[in-house]
Chains A and B, each alone.
Chain A
Amino acid sequence: MAVGGYPPPGHFLGDLGFTTEVLSDTAAVARTRVTPFVSGADGGARAGVLATLVDVVGGLLGVRILRPDWMATADLTLQLVRPAVGPVVEARAELVRRGRTTMVIEALVVEVDELGAELLGPDGASAPVAWSTLTFAVLPGGNRAMAEPLPVDLPAKMEIDGPGLDRPLPEMLGMTVEDAAAGRVSLPVHPYLHNSIQAVQGGAMALLGEVAAAEALGSAVGRTGASMVVTDLQVAYLTLGRVGPIVTRTTVLDTGGSPHPGGARRSGTGSAVVELVDSGAEDRLTTVVNARGMVAADFTAARPTATGAVDLAR
């Protein structure tokens, strides 16, 4: 099913496969299955995939809250607590603030079983695998680029599906690592990864930033990008990536391999800044991603913390 014709058939959101449900005027959930094609070195869903999940549920909620206006993702943060192995991950989104020009949504990501029941922590309490925020810029006047007008009654439940992935998502999207050490990764722009206004979908941009950061951080510590896990993403969307290819420029801030600063144990984490430029639009800077990553073996030692249920916006 699509809303206003989005996503169209033959789109990566359909291949990822989502089920969504609006719970109230200010809350919604979305689920996707964790498969090897969306997983990273820790065996869990990649941060960029979870960013896509959160962007989808945030957008679904935003459409209902803002219409007849539309929105564009302005920034997104996502922080993994431990590997999101599933079998299914569910993003629980709630409106935090709706202003005249912006809207802020918070989302917690939890693991659920095949029947949709949450997999609880060792004390029987909710144990999120990731925490996320989204800021949307409000676009007055709606989305004139939609293939179809929005229905008056948006469905409370939707399934976004397609044939499915047959290889890893970065490969499906056409990402090419051009220079691992420099964190230079290229992404062609094509309808398979468009958002509703025919630019690269925000989750795909986050995934591109994740892949570039992993490559650069891995190279910096003598490893491959495939052995790294990006755990934290802070994404600022500046302009739309429309022409392509979108190419990354990465600066490693620290590798985490040096003796620990200040005596703190940092789990060997490193960080990087990734700039995404639209090479077909005079190298215009479209997105900036601050990312943190670590060797997968260190991250798999993470475990849930028993703190009881987290009430969003409380």
Chain B
Amino acid sequence: MSGFTPTGPPDPRHDMSEYFRLERWEIPPADGGEGFSEFAGRVPLDDHHRGAGGGVRTGALLTNLDSVGGFLAGLSVLPRWIVTTSLMVTVTRLDHRGPLRVHGRVLRRGRNSVVAAMEVVDEGRDDGLVAGSLGTFAVLDPGDMNVEFERPAVVAMPPPTDDLPPPEEFFRIEPGTGTTTRLDLAEHLRNPWGILHGGAAAMLADVAACRAAAAGPSALVGSGSSPMAEQLAAADTVLHYLRPGRVGPVEARCRVLGGPPGRTLVRVAVHDLGSADRLVALGSVVVLSVSG
């Protein structure tokens, strides 16, 4: 599908996808056969998205996996819709050339949930694999949400925009160091359900884990001086979305658990301070040193 170019207007409901310029397209079953559509997406590698590894940051990758997986899972349960309940990603490369292409398929559609597998390849590296992912989505009544789509569903790539901020700024992540990192729950960080977007929680986890690994005694330290957060990159990530984040600010609290040299596991708990500090997401991030 690498030669496919979707056409049509950008989806105005999805600020997140516009920021990453994510294009998406449905792949119906071959020959009109039975089964679920597969789904694909493509993101260009704009400079302001590059992380310490040289390519798209893992938080950004998860944001796009959430968008592609959500669309894929949602189409499989129409006229109902979905909300993401977990994302797990195994990252094999951080030095992408781009664009990155995501391909997703439904592994299981149950009455209450959908499980999907997604893989990400780097078109700039001859479709070399950069990540594999599993996502779980809970099935819900969409209420007032518009879930009507022309089929096969297509969302074109938004055009490039000048002066887009880096992810920390776009995601309203406060500057800081240490094991706690905070995000201001701005309107554009809400998903179509009106709650904290899964991608925003993922980016917060990415940034928070790197800051925590830089701050604490960790396996990353030992070959020299302590690395700065900017010399660290998030890689393999597990995120469980437990409850909606409705109010904000949202705070990620990290515990550095350790690991072999060059590789540190960080537990991340995301709380909604405005909702009685309730736990809205829980996961782990593997932080790698990219200090050369």
| A residues neighboring B (CB under 8 Å) | 74-75, 77, 79, 81-82, 96-97, 101-102, 104, 106, 127-128, 131, 133, 135, 137, 232, 234, 236, 238-239, 253-254, 261-267, 269, 271, 273, 285, 288, 290, 292, 294, 298-299, 301-308, 310, 313-314
Contacts and interface: CB of A to CB of B under 8 A. Distances in A.
Nearest to B139: A101
Contacts of B275: none
B153 interface: no
A262 B115 contact: no
A96 B292 contact: no
Contacts of B112: 101-102, 137
Interface in B240-292: 240, 242-243, 253, 255-265, 267, 269, 279, 282-284, 286, 288-292
Interface residues of B, number: 60
A253 B136 contact: no
A288 B260 CA distance: 26
Contacts of A292: 90, 236
26 contacts: A74-B113, A75-B134, A79-B236, A79-B265, A81-B258, A96-B240, A96-B279, A97-B240, A104-B282, A131-B284, A133-B240, A135-B85, A137-B110, A261-B92, A265-B262, A267-B260, A288-B107, A302-B260, A303-B219, A305-B257, A305-B258, A305-B259, A308-B255, A310-B257, A310-B267, A313-B279
B224 to A, nearest CB: 12
Given A81-B257, A104-B240, A254 B93 contact: yes
B258 A304 contact: yes
A269 B94 CA distance: 14
Contacts of A314: 253, 269
Closest 5 CB pairs of A and B: A305-B258, A265-B262, A262-B53, A262-B94, A262-B95
B86 to A, nearest CB: 7
* Residues of B contacting A: mostly: strand
B55 interface: yes
A313 B282 contact: yes
Contacts of A313: 269, 279, 282
A263 B291 contact: yes
Contact of A305 (B85, B138, B216): B216
A97 B242 contact: yes
Contact of A271 (B132, B283, B292): B132
Given A104-B240, A285-B107, A302 B282 contact: no
B218 interface: yes
A303 B221 CA distance: 11
Given A82-B260, A305-B264, 19 more contacts: A75-B134, A97-B240, A101-B138, A135-B136, A234-B238, A253-B92, A262-B54, A262-B233, A263-B291, A263-B292, A266-B288, A271-B92, A290-B90, A298-B260, A301-B260, A302-B261, A305-B216, A306-B217, A307-B216
Nearest to B107: A238
Given A264-B53, A288-B134, A305-B217, A82 B259 contact: yes
B80 interface: no
A301 B261 contact: yes
B108 interface: yes
Contacts of B136: 74-75, 135, 236
Given A238-B108, A253-B132, A135 B256 contact: no
A139 to B, nearest CB: 11
Contacts of B54: 262-263
A103 to B, nearest CB: 11
Interface string B48-87: 0000111100000000000000000000000000000110
B233 A264 contact: yes
A6 B289 CA distance: 46
A300 to B, nearest CB: 8
